[in-house]
Structure 1
Amino acid sequence: LPMPRRVAAAAGGARVQLTRTVAPGRYSIPARHPGASPRAPTDGEEAIYHQYRAAFASARRTIYLESQHPGERRLLELLDAALARGVSVTLLVPGEPLGAIRRARATAERYWREPAAERPPRPPRYAETFARLDALAQHPRFTLAALAVNDGAGGYREVYVHAKLCLIDDAWGTIGSANLVDISLLADHTELNLSFWHGASAARLLRALVAEHAGLDPATLGAWSDREVVEKFQETARANARRRSAGAPLRGHCYALEPTRYGA
């Protein structure tokens, strides 16, 4: 598509921003945005990552996330800080993670099992990521969850989570292609997210997702606060984890995972 020559007229009442990840040197043609100075993308861009950092640091009540990956270490650190100040945090991931995630967890655990004096001077790339994820398990307001459906034969079929979205405080949201992993945010990939500051849209999307995943009535959730909605999701996910352990049918689709065993 040709680059727009002018800024389009305003439409609607939501503030919307496009953010990107672009690796340095990926493109050589300067980007010419209407109403702005030309910017050479050869410098790279990490706007999605920095927006996530600002959003997590600003959260007051709730953070709801869906991601194919379980997190980037510094973002997990910010989630830990949010939980410490009373924010309820839900992270929805695939119940059966990518092979690369399993291999990274195995590498990290081999490193941790070695006596400290015998460990390599530099830890494996994702060792701190898993350490940060494991630390979130100590917070009662944190839930790592996945999705599955009853298979009709007394078992379960996993629903692979490939979404990349975040909703905070019924005020802000972002949806796009960037996972919560360094290669999507800092290093290798080219990604694009759309963020919006619009309370009604954020609230409507949160309740639609929780209603679908937890098997709840959207009309009932409409009268609840964002904290009540997120904590009902967490309650349902934990109850479903117990049902899975007993071989009982799930109510809805979400079930809680043990963060310290994710990818093991």
Structure 2
Amino acid sequence: MNIQKRGMKFTKPGHNVPLKKIQQNLQFLKFWQKNFSATILIRNIIISIFSAQIITATILLVISAIRDRNKKQRSFPSIELKEVQVGANRLQIYGYGEDLYKAMLEAIDSAQESIYIESYIWKDDEAGWDFKTHLAHKAAEGVEVYVIFDRIGNLVVPRDFKTSFDPAIHLMEYRAFGLYRHMLDPRRYALDHRKLLIVDGKTSFIGGYNIGSLYASSWRDTHLRIQGPASAEIARSFTDFWNRFGPKNEPIKRQYQRRFDPLINLHGNDALRLTFPIRDMYIEAINRAEHSIYLSNAYFVPDGSLLDSLKAASQRGVDVRILVPWTSNHVVADWISHSYFSECLDAGIHILGYRHAMLHAKTCTIDGQWSTIGTANLDRLSSIGNYEINVEIYSSEFAQQMERLFACDTADVIELTADRWHHRPWYTKLSEHILTPLRFMM
């Protein structure tokens, strides 16, 4: 084969290839090989990180399962608080499940017109059946009874329990996405995390308690009863949710009269409309604080803005105290929450660990004037994800009740110090770093 060089070309029989083209091809091949190697490297790094997270989370879950199997039920301190008048409404705080359930069932039994009840979790146990039985009796009397529970929240609840509500009861099992195309819309992944009971538009309950025997005596949570015109606002929130997502042939037509109340405001997250006022409510109140912030929350995974507001408050001299469960029902969430403690402690924030039971409360009181009770955790799922609802209250007398409850909860806690926390074992720090990227999913 003869190859003759002619200027910038090599000549083959029947085929001429420019030298420049060959050089470009060689450069492209080198570039592709280099980037292909980089792609493999990046892929392997991502797989390694993901695998480390899976292994770490699995180990923690196994340890948690063993711990829970050997855990004995413990009592926890509680106090009785008196009812408080706030404007035209009477407010009662509940910090013990059995007392709350008794009051809720009494309210249900007194219903004359309507009962609206919404619960993220509704257990198939004694407490769950008590509520079903009382609701069935009122439906048989002709009272309009509407029930909402979340499908994902009750995946482990037997199907027979969820389908055995009395036929006279209007029932909605909320589904995050009902159509396949909804799976392509991140807004549709929001769960209904709300917990409400409204009777006759006059008496309402709102807070952290789901329905189940476990919560009645073994969990420390906080719920609020409102008797008065503010209940109509909560009733409207329920009916709006039902009419939007419930059976189209069963709309709620009854409407209770609403009115503006400068002392009691309702804030509800709406994932589909991308409105999340609860997070903004917290940030605004924290930014106004001058003396004290007493915050209790089950899962403390704040976003950057909320965390910055808490740190700034502490650095300007506000007494910021955050009460979290020392061991919650979600061990991975605990460890992700721990990744925030160093920043908080360095900023002068007091981190308090509740050790008597699972603390599930979602409350805050500021400067002896402002308070909130509701369903929203301080994590991303609640802040910018799920359907949530909180009530905001301006009342010094009510804030005093909240402070008394916080004092009871923090009388015997584990308080972290910066020195102790910074010197925790290296493997603990490593596990927290491995799980840190998951904070954006919780």
TM-score normalised to the size of structure 1?
0.57
Aligned position for 2:405: 208
Partner SS, residue 196 of structure 1? strand
- The reply on whether 1:179 has 2:363 as its aligned counterpart is no
SS in structure 2 opposite 1:4?
A: coil
1:99 corresponds, among 331, 338, 359, to 331
Counterparts of 1:78-227 in structure 2 under 5 Å?
Answer: 78-97=309-328, 98-102=330-334, 104=336, 130=339, 132-140=340-348, 142-148=349-355, 158-187=356-385, 189-210=386-407, 212-214=408-410
1:76 aligns with 2:300: no
Identity %: 24
Gaps of 5+ in 1: 25-42, 106-128, 149-157, 215-251
1:76–1:133 Cα contact (<8 Å) kept = no
Contact in 1 for aligned 2:263/2:394 (Cα 8 Å): yes
Q: Secondary structure at the match of 2:365?
A: strand
SS in 2 for 1:96: coil
> For 1:45, what is the secondary structure of its paired residue?
coil
The structural deviation recorded for 1:5 is 4.6
Higher helix share: 2
CA contact (8 A) 2:324 2:352 kept: yes
The 1-side partners of 2:268 and 2:282 are apart by 12
Structure 1 vs Structure 2 CA RMSD:
2.6
> Displacement of 1:253 after TM fit?
2.5
TM-score, normalised to structure 2, is: 0.35
SS of the equivalent of 1:51 reads helix
- The alpha carbon displacement at 1:199 in A equals 1.1
Are 2:296 and 2:322, in contact at CA under 8 Å, matched by a contact in 1?
Answer: yes
The alignment of Structure 1 onto Structure 2 pairs a total of residues equal to: 170
Query: Which amino acid counterpart does residue 57 of structure 1 have in structure 2?
Result: N
Task: Measure how far apart 1:137 and its partner are.
Answer: 0.9
Q: For CA contacts below 8 A with separation 6 or more, give which structure has more relative contact order.
A: 1
Q: Give the distance between the partners of 1:9 and 1:48, measured in 2 at CA.
A: 18
Q: Tell me, yes or no, if the aligned pair for 1:146 and 1:161 is still in contact at 8 Å.
A: no
DSSP 3-state at the match of 1:89: strand
Q: Report matched runs for 1:28-39 at 5 Å.
A: none
Contact 2:341-2:351 at 8 Å conserved across structures: no
Amino acid at match of 1:64: Y
2:296 is matched with 66
- In the alignment, the residues of structure 1 paired with residue 374 and residue 405 of structure 2 have an alpha-carbon distance, to the nearest angstrom, of 18
Aligned counterparts of 2:344 and 2:323: Cα–Cα separation in 1? 14
* Residue identity matched to 2:333: I
